[in-house]
Structure 1
Amino acid sequence: METRRRSLVKAVIWNLLGLASMTLVGVIATGSAAIGGTLALVNTAIGLTLYVLYERIWAGIHWGRNV
């Protein structure tokens, strides 16, 4: 089973990658770095929260694991 710290570090790294790509998409779509950046930050905050919850739920499910 994964530790909570490992799950959190994985989620943060993944979301930093997502933040960078979403900022670029937001800037291209809106033409504004401020709006694009804000959209990316909101998306990252929501995504990080959901990802950590998702990982922790699956960490407690034993189905499909080889013991």
Structure 2
Amino acid sequence: MESSRRTMLKAILWNLLGLTVMGLVGLALTGSAAIGGAMAVINTAIGFVMYVIYERIWAHIGWGRYHG
């Protein structure tokens, strides 16, 4: 099982990467750093919450794990 602390750190790092990529994509598509940045922040906030929920659910599922 994975600790909640590990899940949070993974979620934060993954979302920082996503924030950077989404910000650059938003800037490229809109030509505006403000609009691209806003899109990136909204996407990251939603993605962060969904990732933590997803990881915590999977932390309780034993299927596919090998012990020993």
Aligned to 1:54: 54
RMSD: 0.6
Aligned to 2:45: 45
Aligned to 2:7: 7
Q: Number of residue pairs matched?
A: 67
Give 4+ residue runs of structure 1 displaced > 4 Å after superposition: none
Aligned to 1:36: 36
Q: How far off its partner does 1:65 sit? A: 1.1
Tell me the percent identity. 63
Q: How far off its partner does 1:66 sit? A: 1.4
Q: How far off its partner does 1:64 sit? A: 1.1
Unmatched segments (≥5 aa) in structure 1: none
**TM-score if structure 2 supplies the norm length?**
0.95
Aligned mates of 1:17, 1:8 — CA distance in 2: 14
Residues 1:22 and 2:18 are matched in the alignment: no
**TM-score if structure 1 supplies the norm length?**
0.97
